[in-house]
A = this chain, B = another copy of it.
Amino acid sequence: MQVAPATLEPQTESLSALEVESIELFIGFFKLIGLQKSVGEIYGLLFVSSRALAMDDIMTRLGISLGAASQGLKVLRSVGAVKSVYMPGDRRDHYVADLELSKFATAFIQEELKPRLDRALERIGTMETLASEMAPEDRETAEERLERLKHWLERGESMLPWLLKFLVK
């Protein structure tokens, strides 16, 4: 009968100091643009890896579950932050980090920021209608403020194309 290992810890092959730094860096970054920890972990690991990793490697090295790895990779693929490469003689997908960092910013701007600005501007239209039906003294305040907010949002929106151009290469 086989004896149990000396410790009860999950046997994650330990990460190098470089990997740890990279992972922490990208966790922080990705959180900022609304992506979760496990997504940042995976990208951080791949970023400093000189070879492509299979999902299995990722789970083991990071000590995360199968589901988390699968979902994390799905997100990373969807924003183009990761691509799979063919490995002869291995049926598993292997992933490498896409180094075009601007993709994250682009995805964030186009998928988070822009839609939110559009939605807000629509909503202001609704609010202008509602405000127009109010008692005069309240109406004036509301209309002035809505106008102001609208201007500011439009200004923000007008900046996005420029911002994109600046960030992409």
Contacts and interface: CB of A to CB of B under 8 A. Distances in A.
Given A142-B18, A145-B99, A166-B159, A123 B48 contact: no
Copies per assembly: 2
Which bucket holds chain A's interface residue count? 35 or more
Interface stretch (A6-14, A24-32, A60-68, A75-83): A24-32
Contact of A102 (B32, B127, B152): B152
Interface of A: 16-18, 21-22, 24-25, 28-29, 32, 47-48, 50, 99, 101-102, 105, 112-113, 116, 119-120, 123-124, 126-127, 130-131, 134, 137-138, 140-142, 145, 148-149, 152, 155-156, 159, 163, 166-167
